[in-house]
Amino acid sequence: MKILTEKKLKNGETLTVLHWNSAEPAPEKYKNYLLQSMGTDGIKRNFYAIGSWRAYLSDAMDGTYYPDIVDHWFFAEINGEIAGRIWFAYSAKSLRGNFGHVLTEEKFRQRGIMTELLKYCMEEIKRAPVKILTCATGNRFAAASYKKVGFYSVYGTETGVLCYSKERTFLEEAEAVFRPGKIKEVRPGRITDQFDCDKFLAYTPEIHKRTFPHYGGPAAAIEEFRSIYQESLGGRGVVVTALNEAGACCGYAFGILYHGMPIVDFMLHPAYLDDGEKLVSAAITAFREKFGFIPFYMGYETDENKNKVIEKVRSELQTIILTKPFLL
């Protein structure tokens, strides 16, 4: 843990900004703080999302995923008490990552803490080899703050998906990576896939602006690749990832036992739909081998893209076609 600055505020309090990265185990004080505060930042997350974040953070702060994933945390302390935090992390292979977990604890607000954290965080981002960092926010004040330090709106909106990039813009990168082609390989999902799936693939216009929800039925409880990966580690699911001819993650499929109900679903970039049965069939096979059940797929009757894939594997699963959103 490195102290970046320590200074007196106008009210006499001492502000300290600290930086930790995953090349070293995190001190218990900061690890425990994150695990306890996860889910208190005002962002609406379900049980799976909060649980998966806590599981990820616990392992990441022990150095489990380093050097495949590089995590950076910036903490602000007031008189020795943790007052705020910011995080970014990225895959060492793809150099794409995620920025977020931005929080100033309520009793320490209006002291300029976030300005200090953003300053030092952005200095590190500029030094790091990461190519693209993506986040999403519905808070216009937060979005404006991020834009001031170099983030931009991917879709030209006040809030929503924001990105910081050093070379190509987000949309230029997506266009270059997801060219029409074939699925070259389907393999078990890896923890490093989370950034390429959750913060790159999922924000491409072809998927982010879908008419339908990403998943139907109980699978909607799984918000991200990260969540199902953590479920698979806990023995409650399986996940496989599709790689295109450029070696980039172009989709993933998963199976879970949701309150005892066997469910399969998937996310796949439309440029690879013609090859999509490879991905979904691999997930079905892995699920049946692990749990011994024929899984269900719940989709929307007018979702032509996903139904095109499901038709090719219909004999391997049970299907329930929805006419309207499924309420959990």
Angstrom distance (rounded) from CA 297 to CA 310? 8
Residues 11 and 115 in one domain: yes
Q: What is the pLDDT of residue 37?
A: 85
Residue 25 per-residue DSSP state: P
Residue 287 lies in a domain: yes
Residues 256 and 200 in one domain: yes
Residue 328 lies in a domain: no
Residues 98 and 153 in one domain: no
Residue 327 lies in a domain: no
Residue 228 lies in a domain: yes
Domain count, the chain: 3
Residue where a domain terminates, one of 146, 177, 208:
177
pTM recorded for the entire structure: 0.93
Q: What is the pLDDT of residue 259?
A: 86
pLDDT, one tens digit per residue, over 287-299 is 999 999 999 999 9
Residues 299 and 224 in one domain: yes
Residues 155 and 100 in one domain: no
- What residues make up the domain containing 259? 178-322
Residues 216 and 286 in one domain: yes
DSSP string, 144-162: HHHHHTT-EETTS-SSEEE
Residues 6+ apart with CB under 8 A from 275: 182, 183, 242
- Percentage of the chain beyond pLDDT 70 is 95
pLDDT, one tens digit per residue, over 171-223 is 999 999 999 999 999 999 999 999 999 999 999 999 999 988 889 888 888 87
CATH of the domain at 218: 3.40.630.30
Q: Measured between alpha carbons, how far apart are the two ends of the chain, in Å?
A: 42
In the chain, which residues have pLDDT < 50? Answer: 327-328
Q: What is the pLDDT of residue 154?
A: 98
Dihedral angle, C-alpha 175, 179, 184, 187, nearest 10 °: 30
